[in-house]
A and B are shown apart, each in its own frame.
Chain A
Amino acid sequence: MSTLKPPLGPRDHLRGELSRPIHLVEFGDFECPLCGQAQIVVQALARALGDQLCFGFRNFPVVGAHPNAQIAAEAAEAAGDQGKYWEMHDLLFDDQHALEVPHLGRYAEQLGLDMHRFVADLQAHRFLEKIRGDLHSGAISGVVGTPTFFINGIRHEGPFDFDSLLAAMTLAARFPRAG
């Protein structure tokens, strides 16, 4: 059984508090089409589960197949450093086909980020280490490609459509969290 290492914690980007009973963690890549589909499913699950769900996202950029995945992840982290992680996360998934540097700059402007700081962070690859940390977490947790989901710390096997994930989460909520 593959388990999430390290467990979801305050260093993660979270939608919802850690005290909520259901933890859903996605390892994803902003340029991955399946993650784009999963984003819609996750949003629907968040609406359905309300304050039961704490959702966390870790980066797993598949750099060979997706040339812009890493810089897009860096852009999301840079926005996060300015308090706009989820806003950028959603914009990137909404327009997965436009993830080159000029597009990223446009999204940052749209969110009203400090552009000087945003550009400097991207040029210095300031958040690359954090992304590598996510990749390491994915490797030791048994990520099998993108997206890979963990429900209450245990790798979700099987499809990631709304019903499958909801059923798995409903079941998981009956047991103590593994991590």
Chain B
Amino acid sequence: MLQPGARAPEFALKTTPDQTLAPVDFRGKPVVLAFYQADWSPVCTEQMAVYSLIIDELRAHGAQLLGIACDGAWCHLAFARHYELSFPRLSDFEPKGGVSRRYGCYDAAEGMSGRALFVVDCDGQIAWSYLSPTGINPGADGILAALDGLGKLSSRPRPQEGDRP
């Protein structure tokens, strides 16, 4: 799985049957990628419902949350409508799990994305990542702590070319 310091691979996936979204659309904002196994499964549903409920906590950090699973866009749409989810879900459907594989969090044995979280900073670099066991809902505390950390980093002077590391 991709670790902090790595560049977040670029991609574009369907968010509805006729719209695509890409993390680069949000460049300049931190992006939180929440890979999950499947729409409708109990742990995923609770995890996504909690994120939806506390979305203002993420917005307070200026962050954009994107949920990603292998289900098709129509399935995502029905899932989001049923639970009134307040953030976009991306469909890693064709080629199946292609983006999950590039992030190193595809569970080939199950044929689903693993329950992986990534916080990507404003410059497109992974700042934090975490793979939760399949049956465990990780909650949002790790994401929020990572976003807190970004705030502290960006308030420091940026290293200039020629500075000693």
Chain A residues touching B, majority SS: loop
Q: Which residue on A lies nearest to B148, using beta carbons?
A: A140
Chain B residues touching A, majority SS: helix
In the bound complex, residues from chain A placing their C-beta under 8 Å from that of B67 are none
* Also in contact, A142 and B142, with CB within 8 A (given A62-B49, A64-B84, A65-B49): yes
Q: Does B144 contact A (CB under 8 A)?
A: yes
Q: Does B17 contact A (CB under 8 A)?
A: no
1/0 per residue B110-147: CB within 8 Å of A? 00000000000000000000000000111111101100
Q: Does B46 contact A (CB under 8 A)?
A: yes
Q: Which residue on B lies nearest to A4, using beta carbons?
A: B141
- Indicate if the CB atoms of A142 and B49 lie closer than 8 Å: no
Binds B, one of A17-25, A115-123, A131-139, A160-168: A131-139
Question: A75 → chain B, closest Cβ, in Å?
Answer: 20
Selected contact of B54 from candidates A65, A138, A148, A157, CB within 8 Å: A138
- Indicate if the CB atoms of B144 and A144 lie closer than 8 Å: no
Q: Does B11 contact A (CB under 8 A)?
A: no
- Indicate if the CB atoms of B139 and A136 lie closer than 8 Å: no
Q: Does A141 contact B (CB under 8 A)?
A: yes
- Indicate if the CB atoms of A145 and B49 lie closer than 8 Å: yes
1/0 per residue B140-165: CB within 8 Å of A? 11101100000000000000000000
In the bound complex, residues from chain A placing their C-beta under 8 Å from that of B84 are 64
In the bound complex, residues from chain A placing their C-beta under 8 Å from that of B54 are 135, 138-139
In the bound complex, residues from chain A placing their C-beta under 8 Å from that of B57 are 136, 139-140
- Indicate if the CB atoms of A145 and B141 lie closer than 8 Å: no
Further 19 A-B residue pairs, CB within 8 A, beyond A144-B50, A145-B47? A63-B53, A64-B49, A64-B53, A64-B84, A65-B49, A135-B53, A139-B54, A139-B140, A139-B144, A140-B140, A140-B144, A140-B145, A141-B141, A143-B140, A144-B46, A144-B47, A144-B139, A155-B139, A157-B136
Closest 3 CB pairs between A and B?
A142-B139, A142-B141, A144-B137
On B, residues with C-beta under 8 Å from A are 46-47, 49-50, 52-54, 57, 83-84, 136-142, 144-145
On A, residues with C-beta under 8 Å from B are 2, 5, 62-65, 135-136, 138-145, 148, 155, 157
